[in-house]
Amino acid sequence: MKLTIVTPEKTIYDGEAISVAVPGTKGAFEVLDNHAPIISSLQNGVITVKTDEGVQEYPICSGFIEVARNTVSICAEE
C-alpha cells in the first residue's frame, strides 16, 4: 500500500509499506492491505512502518490518519 507521513515541516515518509501501526486516540491499531476506509485522530506515541527493507519507527505527539483504497495518509506533529 502507499504511505505518506507528513509533518508541518517536512515529509518524513513517502513510499510503499506492508503495514502501519499507529497510536490512535481510542487505542492503537494496525493498517494492512485492503483495510476499510477510516479517518482517526492520533495521540502521543510511535508510528511503526513495516516495509520490505525492515521496520522504521517515527515518534509523534499527535495527528490524523486517513485510509482509503490502499492509500494511507498521516499528518502528524513530531
With CA atoms as reference, report the closest residue to 13 among 63, 24, 26, 29.
Answer: 63
pLDDT at 8: 94
pLDDT at 48: 98
Domain count, the chain: 1
Domain of residue 9: give its range: 2-77
pLDDT at 13: 97
Q: Measured between alpha carbons, how far is 49 from 20 in angstroms, rounded to an integer? A: 5
Q: Mean pLDDT per 10-residue run, the chain (78 residues)?
A: 97 97 97 95 98 96 97 96
Q: Report the CATH number at residue 42.
A: 2.60.15.10
